[in-house]
Amino acid sequence: MTLTDQTIGFIGLGAMGKGMAANCVRKGFTLVVNDLNPGPVEELVALGARSAASPAEIARDCSVIVTVLPTGREVREVVMGADGLFAHAAPGTLVLDLSTIDPETTDDLHETARAKGFRAVDAPIGRLAWHADRGESLFMVGGERADYEEIKPLLDAMGTTIHYCGKGGTGTRTKLVNNYLAIISCQLNAEALSLSNRFGLDLETTLEVIHGTTATNGQLKVNWPNKVLAGDTDPGFTIDLAHKDLSLIVGAANTARVPVPVAAAAREAFSTARARGYGGQDFSAMVDVLCDLGQIERARFGKDSS
């Protein structure tokens, strides 16, 4: 039986999950969905999905279940809790967790699944919410190769780039390494461009120079021109989420006894941004945080849009 012949459970319809679930429905998968927020559930039902009142109901009806949850605490409760998926699912059920969480929770997920006769795959998401809406997400996958091959058609429905990273837990750890560089780049870019504006330099000329040297980076060259530099700070990935991921990175590095002083310093910069009310904005808006703190004109193409 192929995945398109089965009913797939999908729990978590936030900024990333809703778009990915919608793409699954559009591409022929039968979904039963659950979220604490009724709004996105109603949107998915309008597309053809069925709603479930609880994760327990999904566990009883589905042998493959996708979870996209905010933190490790929710993963533990929804999957491994007393009334969670493992408490109600049939033996052999596969949980595909797309959440970005701490490695310890991911390891517990795999170990608990094995002990109870279930299967687990960790496949945290790369790229942003608008990629998820367009079915262009990237996934970093950890788990048994056979389980990965089984759920790959589902990942293909949600994304364009899939990396099999190895055994259980390697997907989560790869995501933390990736996000370390992506988030740190935003902090570096924010400091550099606020300094550039304080110097009175032309933004376009400064960027032309940077992009012609090894100083450039993907955030500054690809993401920022479409976001904060164009005056758009609506979140693709929020400052709050970036702070969460930096906390995961620092914690995981401490556990592994790897010093990450730059990550620790960046986390405090993001803490400042959150304390000043910028948490819900796109993480490229870190440049606005620094410009506002320094009473510097905001970095924008063309003219200031503050």
Neighbours of 268 (CB within 10 A): 11
Q: Residue 9 belongs to what H/E stretch?
A: strand 7-11
Place of tokens 């759920």: 151
Tell me the C-alpha distance between 64 and 50, whole Å. 15
The yes-or-no answer on residue 27 being catalytic is no
Burial class (CB within 10 angstroms; exposed 0-12, middle 13-18, buried 19+) of 60: middle
Contact 60, 32 (CB under 8 A): no
Both tokens assigned to 22: 């919608």
Q: Select which of 175, 221, 244, 303 is catalytic.
A: 175
Tell me the C-alpha distance between 297 and 146, whole Å. 54
Both tokens assigned to 126: 């790369």
Catalytic positions: 175
